[in-house]
Structure 1
Amino acid sequence: MNARQLFGGGVAVITGAGAGIGAGLARHASRLGMTTVLVDVDAAAIAALRDELRAAGASAVDKVCDVRDAEAVQALADEVYRDLGPVRLLVNNAGVEQFGYLWDTPVENWRRVVDVNINGVFHGIRAFLPHMMAGDTPAWVWNLSSIGGVAVVPLQAAYIMSKHAVLALTECLHLEVQAAGHADHVHVQAVLPGAVVSNIFESAGGVDGGDTSAAETQRAAMLDIKAGAMDPLVAAEVVFDQAAQGRFYLITQPDYVGSAMTERARVLTTHEAPRLRTERRFDPAQS
């Protein structure tokens, strides 16, 4: 069964849909015939995307919601199920970046990363998954980890930590859905994008004191990578196709991300300590 047969006609709820891979997933979901619920804190961005999708003949609604707010996410889930019906696809995608040495990272910036990248995924699961399990129609949950979920990178510790956490959470959730007896119709999958065009690096937090130069040098290095990053719509098509094949790890660039997964496995197997690389451009196979 292909992606259109599997997802077409269903409802997709996508957090962080205002830009980057979230917007790419929303556009491709619409092309497959899904009703898209565009969720973001940027009202203007999701309103513009809603209008774009509707102009192309798709069904789309925009919902301003902060995934850090558990009550707001629960209200969103209740509203979607009441007004649009069962959710076929939940994409917990909203995420933020942070640059700088860990000891220089402002407490509020650390909390922002944890609240959006980790708690936001938890809130989405807690609000939507009970609805999905209570129904008898096929449903999918995609949690956005990252190539950073299988790599280690200095000066991005908060972000890397959060993506490792999301990957572990998703792997555990996959088992919990099986243990609870719902794996026949609820499918949990982990999305690990490589470099995909977005504004996450520009909007990333930095440091107010300490070594600001190091933080901004790392931001510049990531912006260099962005110059050769994958188009979000192309990335979305790859993710949907892999999901339709029943894979658990959905990888936008199989060779690029796969090399980071292989290297991570090698380091853990050999008990090798992380090594600092001097190259400015991040190569996951060298991390």
Structure 2
Amino acid sequence: MTAREIFSGGVAVITGAGNGIGAGLARHAAGLGMTVVLVDIDGEAVATLRDELPGAIDVVCDVRDADAVERLAAQVYSEVGPVRLLVNNAGVEQFGYLWDTPVANWDRLVSINVSGVFYGIRAFLPHMLAADTPSWVWNLSSIGGVAVVPLQAPYIMSKHAVLALTECLRLEVDSAGHADRIHVQAVLPGAVKSNIFETAGGVDGGDVAAAEAQRSAMLDIKAEAMDPIAAAEVVFEQAAAGEFYLLTQPEYVGNAMAERADVLRDRRPPALRTKRRFDPAHQ
């Protein structure tokens, strides 16, 4: 079946929909004929996108608030309908040496990038199970989920965590006997255009120059990053084909996955690169 055959007419809930790949997924989902619920803490961004997409609904929600995400799920199911596609995408970046990272920045990143995914699953999956209709759950990891990168440790850690969470969720859904209608998939984008680097946290003490140099390097990579709508099209196609790992740039991200597997198999210690071969950012 094609992506249009699978998703057209269904409801998609996308967190972090105001920018980057979240907005790209929303635009492509709407183009497939889905009713898209645009969720973001940036009300202005999703309101603007809502006006662009026929039938879209914008909701301001902070994914760090478990109760707010629960209310979101209840609202969608009572006012919009059963969710065919849940995309836990909201995420933020952080630059700087780990020992310079402000505690507040660490807590914010973990609460959005990791807890926000958990809250989305906990709020929506019971409704999906009760609806007894086919549905899909996509959690946004990253090429950073299979990489190690200095000066971005909190973000990289969070994307490793999301990937492991999603792999475990896939097994749990299967173990509970729901794999025939609850399709869990992990999205691993490579470099996709967004404002994640501009809005990333930095450091207010220690080696500020190193943190900002890393931000600058990532902004250079952004100039060559993939268009979010093109990335979304690839992800939807792979999802429709039944893939588990959904890669925006299959060769690029796939090479990083293979390299990670080789490193673990050979038990090689992490090593600095003289030239960056892939970029961990996605949103």
Normalising by the smaller structure, the TM-score range is: over 0.9
Matched-pair contact (CA < 8 Å) for 1:150–1:261: yes
SS at match of 2:5: helix
SS at match of 1:266: helix
SS at match of 1:284: coil
**How many pairs were matched up?**
279
Alpha-carbon distance in structure 2 between the residues aligned to 1:190 and 1:59: 27
1:176 matched to 2:172? The reply is yes
Residue 134 of structure 1: how far off its partner (Å) = 1.5
Find runs of 4+ consecutive structure 1 residues off by over 4 angstroms: none
Structure 2 counterpart of 1:283: 277
2:98 is aligned, of 74, 95, 102, to 102
1:207 matched to 2:217? The reply is no
How do residues 142-161 of structure 1 correspond to structure 2 at under 5 angstroms? 142-161=138-157
**Equivalent position amino acid for 1:20 in 2:** G
Matched-pair contact (CA < 8 Å) for 1:36–1:59: yes
Structure 2 counterpart of 1:128: 124
Alpha-carbon distance in structure 2 between the residues aligned to 1:276 and 1:262: 18
Alpha-carbon distance in structure 2 between the residues aligned to 1:4 and 1:141: 17
Structure 2 counterpart of 1:267: 263
- Give % identity: 75
**RMSD between aligned residues:** 0.8
**Equivalent position amino acid for 1:242 in 2:** Q
What TM-score results when the alignment is normalised by the length of structure 2?
0.98
Matched-pair contact (CA < 8 Å) for 2:190–2:278: no
Q: Deviations over 1:252-284 (max 9, x none)?
A: 0011101100000000000000101133xx213
How do residues 217-256 of structure 1 correspond to structure 2 at under 5 angstroms? 217-256=213-252
Matched-pair contact (CA < 8 Å) for 2:4–2:32: yes
Residue 12 of structure 1: how far off its partner (Å) = 0.1
Of structures 1 and 2, the one with the larger relative CO (CA 8 A, separation 6+) is: 2
Structure 1 counterpart of 2:21: 21
Q: Deviations over 1:181-224 (max 9, x none)?
A: 11111000000000000000000000000000000000001001
SS at match of 1:198: coil
Alpha-carbon distance in structure 1 between the residues aligned to 2:87 and 2:34: 13
Structure 2 counterpart of 1:37: 37
Alpha-carbon distance in structure 1 between the residues aligned to 2:18 and 2:271: 36
Residue 19 of structure 1: how far off its partner (Å) = 0.4
Alpha-carbon distance in structure 2 between the residues aligned to 1:245 and 1:144: 18
Alpha-carbon distance in structure 2 between the residues aligned to 1:208 and 1:94: 24
What TM-score results when the alignment is normalised by the length of structure 1?
0.96
Structure 1: tracts of 5 or more residues without a match: none
